[in-house]
Amino acid sequence: MTRPPDSALRRGYLLCHTCHQVSAAGAAHPQCPRCGAPLHARKPDSLTRTWALTLTAYILYIPANLLPVMTVTMSGQGEPDTIMSGVKELLLGGMWPLALLVFFASITVPVLKLLILTYLLISVQFRSQWRPRERTVLYRITESVGRWSMIDIFVIAILVALVKLGALATIDAGAGAVAFGGVVVTTMFAAMSFDPRLIWDAMEKQND
């Protein structure tokens, strides 16, 4: 590299996150000339917001796994189900492909997502120079895969609707499901508020 690559910020341009228009930075509160969305060189307070949302998700993750996500009552006998016991049940039923899928969506994805976001935040804060391209890919995967963790919430929504036969069999949602839904939503917002361009800003500063 003889010359640092041109970033929009360095050249005084702003990219609209909504409609992808590039325009010259000028006004104090610039708006996109095409769609009117407020423009920012970088997502506002990206690190602070992402930290706050990620930490919130960590805290919610504890009750999400410890509290029952639902309680199945069969002929008077109530049995609380956690996320983990739901996966175990699928495994014992011999449905290992589905068990694997639910394990991946409900347990692996949220944990990995939190760890990756934490790593990205720390790497940006310490101005890491290590493999920016791979870190950007990691971010893209994190952003796109998070929604699949909602499966468990939907399973509960369907089960409570189908199984309400009074004394015979009932399924009630549990507080764990609320916490788990909270984890999915906060990590989605956390991924949205992180700005991957910060990874590259650190690289450019090094070149100056």
Partner 1 sequence: MPAPTPPELVACHDCDLLSPLPHLSEGERARCPRCGSVLFERKGHSLDYSIALALTSLILFVLANVNTLMRMNIGGRVQSGAIISGISELYAQGFWMLAALVLVVTILAPLVKILAILYVLAPIRFHLRAPGAIRVFRLFETLHPWAMTEVYMLGILVAMVKLKDLASLEAGVALYSFAALILVMAATDSSLDDHEIWERLGHLRDKTA
**In the stretch 171-190, what mask flags binding to partner 1 with x, by CB under 8 A?**
-xx---xx--x---x--x--
Binding flag, residue 1, partner 1 (CB under 8 A): no
* Residue 142 identity: T
- Rounded Cα–Cα distance for residues 110 and 107 (Å): 6
Q: How far is the CB of 18 from partner 1 (least distance, A)?
A: 5
Q: Which stretch binds partner 1 (CB under 8 A): 47-55, 94-102, 107-115, 119-127?
A: 94-102
Sign, CA torsion 4/6/10/16: negative
> Could you say which residues in the range 108-137 bind partner 1, by CB under 8 A?
132-133, 136-137
For 20-168, strand residue ranges (E) read 22-24, 70-74, 77-81
* Pick from 204, 191, 197, 206: nearest CA to 40: 197
Binding flag, residue 196, partner 1 (CB under 8 A): yes
Binding flag, residue 83, partner 1 (CB under 8 A): no
* Pick from 166, 171, 180: nearest CA to 80: 171
> Could you say which residues in the range 147-166 bind partner 1, by CB under 8 A?
147-148, 150-165
Find tokens 């893209």 and name the residue.
140
Q: Which stretch binds partner 1 (CB under 8 A): 15-23, 45-53, 54-62, 107-115?
A: 15-23
Binding flag, residue 15, partner 1 (CB under 8 A): yes
Q: Which stretch binds partner 1 (CB under 8 A): 57-65, 96-104, 107-115, 118-126?
A: 96-104
Look at residue 75 and give its three-state secondary structure: coil
